[in-house]
Structure 1
Amino acid sequence: MADYEDVRYEVSDGIATITMDRPDVYNAFTRETVLELNDAVRTARDDDGVYAVVLTGAGDGFCAGADTTEMPDWDRQSPEEYGAFLWIIQQLVANLRGMATPSIAAVNGPAIGAGCDFALACDLRVTGPEGIMREGFVNVGLVPGDGGAWLLPRLIGESKAREYLLTGRDIDPEEAVEIGLAVETADDAVAAARDLAIEIRDKPATAVQRTNALVDPEMGFDEYCRLAAEYQWECVTDPEHKEAVAAFNEGREPAFDREYGD
């Protein structure tokens, strides 16, 4: 297992928990933090013993965005240098979105700027009582360079997304649930996210991953049908499908032949 400085990576019972671990700055990230996060997400993605991923932050925050005290003076950098740094952050969003294994953001505290985008890039979100989400880029004279203006409209609709993007307002936990951005608000967001991960883990894994891949608002219907037929055949020939059907017919819980990564 990789030895990270700013990230904790743990696997238990088939669930990988990736924790941004800079609690003194509400898990604001540096370049090294994002490199470690990218590696951790790829590690979870490539582990056949991981059936769901929980992304969260240590202490009282999810992620406060970039740690500006650790960043260079960007106006002295070239556009290429700045673009190279931004690309690393964009890759984390892309890696989260492109992962077939379902990901759940446990938004235990403020998720600000790029930190908000990390939560949006996950497949599902659970918020804690202090788990506000704020794009906030416009408040400091920036645009959502990490994917927020692409992600948010697809999750909550264009008009509502513009409201939050153009005003920099907070999305509080209760409103996040109301507008469909979060599954639920819980006193312990990490525990609730893990419960949700366990519920997903206990379904046939191939069906879960292929269903996750089919949820793509950019996909045309013809392409969807082609992939659905391909994935359905893969599921039909999967032993976990056969066990799930047998368990249903016999009125019992399925017993899948699998080993969880640890």
Structure 2
Amino acid sequence: MSDAVLYEQDDSVVTLTLNRPATRNALTELEVVDALVAALERAQADSGVRAIVLTGAGPAFSSGGNIKHMRDDVGTFAGSSAHIRENYRSGIQRIPKAFHELDVPCIAAVNGPAHGAGCDLTLMCDIRIAAASAVFAESFAKVGIIPGDGGAWLLPRVIGLSRASEMIFTGTPIDAQRAHEWGLVSRVVPDEELMDAALSLARAIASNPPGVLRMSKRLIREGQRMDLPSLLELSAAFQGIAHRTADHREALAATFQKRPPIFTGD
């Protein structure tokens, strides 16, 4: 198994760590793509996983594309325009697709610079917590390319069209405080407190019924493309499932008995 992405599980919380600090956790190498997609699929298939924290090894969260490979026309960036198109489709674009199929709540613990596809990777997560030293940039224009991994779809949905356009058109980085003001991250914490904050939030999420968490996340995702009547129909169907779970009965019993619930996923 590749060590490009570390998979660590503590009870029902999984920590995924991008583990290529020498390239500032660049995402465009196929080994990294394969490892990250495999880790997401592993978590999705494990009903015992209730929350994920994604972070980067070393001082950066992710530099996005490997600009040395761009310069040398190798890897993802090798070949004709047609080849590069297919390299993107069979390579880095598999990451947003894997996140789209992920029903487990995911927190990005952004420990440093998140540039280009690295910034977009944070957007694929449901919640973002930034270290004070984190920097975000849709830096594609600075190297003469466009967001190739879904950033033009993701970013406007998180911070709005005007601010997303500003980030994409200028490529200018924003610091963690500006990211918080714009709604790109939900909180900023001192660097040394980042993982504690992210794991504490993950544990709070994981204290709830796993089936409810996964159905709730799917409702949020589907709600981005459905009209309200369609979402209400899906909500009613999911609610019918939720009301007949053992976890729902346990939640009610724990409430009336004034004790912590014990959820099994049943």
TM-score normalized by structure 1?
0.92
Query: 1:167-209, CA deviations, whole angstroms, 9 ceiling, x for partnerless residues?
Result: 1122321122222221211223222111111110001221111
Corresponding residue for residue 59 of structure 2: 60
Q: Distance in 1 between matches of 2:9 and 2:30?
A: 24
The counterpart of 1:171, out of the listed 170, 174, 192, is 174
Query: 1:31-62, CA deviations, whole angstroms, 9 ceiling, x for partnerless residues?
Result: 21111111111111111111111111001110
Corresponding residue for residue 24 of structure 1: 22
Q: Distance in 2 between matches of 1:100 and 1:159?
A: 29
The counterpart of 2:131, out of the listed 125, 128, 133, is 128
Corresponding residue for residue 212 of structure 2: 207
The counterpart of 2:113, out of the listed 105, 110, 113, is 110
- The change in CA–CA distance for 1:84 and 1:5 in structure 2 (over 3 A counts) is farther
Q: Distance in 1 between matches of 2:201 and 2:86?
A: 35
Comparing 43-52 with 246-255, greater Cα deviation is found at: 246-255
Query: 1:6-52, CA deviations, whole angstroms, 9 ceiling, x for partnerless residues?
Result: 11111111111111111122112322111111111111111111111
Q: Distance in 2 between matches of 1:218 and 1:202?
A: 29
Query: 1:194-252, CA deviations, whole angstroms, 9 ceiling, x for partnerless residues?
Result: 11111100012211111111113111112201110110011101111111112122222
TM-score normalized by structure 2?
0.91
Comparing 197-206 with 184-193, greater Cα deviation is found at: 184-193
Q: Are positions 1:195 and 2:195 aligned together?
A: no
Give the 3-state SS of the residue equivalent to 2:107 in structure 1. Answer: strand
Q: Are positions 1:159 and 2:162 aligned together?
A: yes
Counterpart contact for 1:97–1:122, Cα < 8 Å: no
The counterpart of 2:152, out of the listed 135, 149, 153, is 149
The one-letter amino acid of 1:99's match is L
Give the 3-state SS of the residue equivalent to 2:17 in structure 1. Answer: strand
Unaligned runs of 5+ in 1: none
RMSD after superposition: 1.8
Which is bigger in relative contact order (C-alpha 8 A, separation at least 6)? 1
The one-letter amino acid of 2:176's match is P
Corresponding residue for residue 101 of structure 1: 104
Q: Distance in 2 between matches of 1:94 and 1:40?
A: 13
Counterpart contact for 2:247–2:265, Cα < 8 Å: no
Corresponding residue for residue 80 of structure 2: 78
Counterpart contact for 2:78–2:84, Cα < 8 Å: no
Number of equivalent positions: 257
* Deviation of 1:135 (Å): 0.9
Counterpart contact for 1:31–1:85, Cα < 8 Å: no
Moved over 4 A (4+): none
Q: Are positions 1:227 and 2:234 aligned together?
A: yes
Give the 3-state SS of the residue equivalent to 2:184 in structure 1. Answer: coil
Corresponding residue for residue 49 of structure 1: 48
Corresponding residue for residue 245 of structure 2: 238
Comparing 61-70 with 50-59, greater Cα deviation is found at: 61-70
Counterpart contact for 2:33–2:94, Cα < 8 Å: no
Unaligned runs of 5+ in 2: none
Q: Are positions 1:255 and 2:228 aligned together?
A: no
Give the 3-state SS of the residue equivalent to 1:53 in structure 2. Answer: strand
